[in-house]
Amino acid sequence: MEVNSMSSILTTLAQSKQIANAVLKKVKDKGYALSSDLGTLASLNEVAESNLASALASKINGKADAATTISGYGITDAYTKTEVDNAISESQAAVLKPGGSLAAEGIVAGLLVEGNLGKVYNITEDFTTTDSFVEGSGKVHPAGTNIYVVDVSATSTPSYKFDVLAGSYGVATQSGNGLMSASDKTKLDNADVTAYTAGNGISISSHAVSAVVDSTNANGLSVGANGLALAAATTTAAGAMSAADKAKLDDADVTAYTSGDGISISSHAVSAVVDSSNANGLSVGASGIALAAATTTTAGAMSAADKSKLDSADVTAYTSGNGINITNHAVAAVVDTTNANGLSVGTNGIALAAATSSAAGAMSASDKSKLDNADVTAYTGTGAIDVTNHVVSIAAATTSAAGSMSAADKTKLDDIEIATAQQITDMIAELDSL
């Protein structure tokens, strides 16, 4: 029994040593020092800075003292308490909060206060925005739209407004707004589209209005789901000028071409030119050559109205007269060929030929020059005829010398007794008394 007891004791001691060694190892693994490793520090009740190694003392001295603020620990890259409080306040203000439902008349400026910032209101009927809304006035929104209060100021002074948050548009009816107003829906429903008919270039079928292209004269023009299109011209099909063709045209040597009658060429630009003194309504501009309709004061093209007047005119009342011949509405001048004396009429109008030595006619400029330069000094007057400075005059006759009449006729004329007006009056009175 004693042997067994001693053996048990030895076993227990061995196990205790193993446990102690394991505990010591755990303590060392945790970084704790044993009193046997501390040297002289183990015998000290208090450790002063002078008892520490200089490196350890420097590290301890580099640590901040206890403080109650971030700046007290020397930290400069963290938010302060004030900044954190402001951020939390702003974040709370940005959170949308339910504000309940409002009728349209409940949307009043009195709601635009700081305490309502972020509050969302559901509007229970159609309403129209005012200047109190971010989007401005005049916008129509249907019932069910949500609005909320926002601060639109960019400064420290707040400025509160309503903003439309969400809503949906229903189909408009004549009694309720929707994707269009009720009044516009009424106008649309009552519109008389049967009054519209297709015109040139337009086709109307079942309310669908479409452009129509004359395929026989399209010259590259077509119309499809994407709209009108003009294909580029090719060597076999007319169309729009392509960029490549434009480059060829710009590079073309047009120096061989010069302006001609009615055409001006300048810096590759070829333009039509109108003789303004004889335009008679003809003009040329950016859209091309134009001929204006004639008026009662200005020559030009015959308008459709004038053509209608002309076709309706009763020309049977007009007959040919002297110098005029009317046949099948054609009015022409007529010349008496037996007494024309150079006068003629043709497609260009009435003409008077210049006189020659064998045919009568108008005096030519050369004949006028000859006449003005004629030497008439060779001619002198005789008797009662006097020639002075190309002027031929006849002297008055006397009883002794002939002039504008013979001397004998002058004597007879002088011998005629001419009664005075009084004598004639007396003679008439005497005759009346008989």
Of the pLDDT bands very low, low, confident and very high (cuts 50, 70, 90), residue 57 is low
pTM above 0.75, yes or no: no
- Res 231 pLDDT > 80: yes
Q: Please name the residue ranges forming H helices in 202-334.
A: 243-251, 304-312
Q: Are strands 282-285 and 288-291 parallel, antiparallel or unpaired?
A: antiparallel
- Residue extents of the structural domains in the chain: 85-183, 375-434
How much is the pLDDT for 113? Answer: 94
Mean pLDDT of 63-89: 75
The whole-angstrom separation of Cα 72 and Cα 81 is: 13
DSSP label of 169: -
User: Is the model more confident about 225 or about 420?
Assistant: 225
**Tens digit of each residue's pLDDT (9 = 90 or more) over 159-178:** 999 999 865 565 677 877 66
CA 23-28-32 angle, to 5 degrees, is 110
- Which whole number is the average pLDDT over 319-338? 81
Whether residue 90 is predicted with pLDDT greater than 80 in this model: the reply is no
- pLDDT tens readout for residues 371-394: 777 765 666 667 777 777 667 778
Which residue shows structure tokens 């006028």? 368
**Residue 163 CA to its chain's centroid (Å):** 35
pLDDT at 318 over 80: no
- Whole-angstrom distance, CA of residue 27 vs CA of residue 33: 8
Q: What is the pLDDT of residues 206-218, one digit of tens each?
A: 767 888 888 888 8
H or E stretch including 411?
A: helix 407-415
The region of weakest confidence among 27-36, 228-237, 247-256 is 27-36
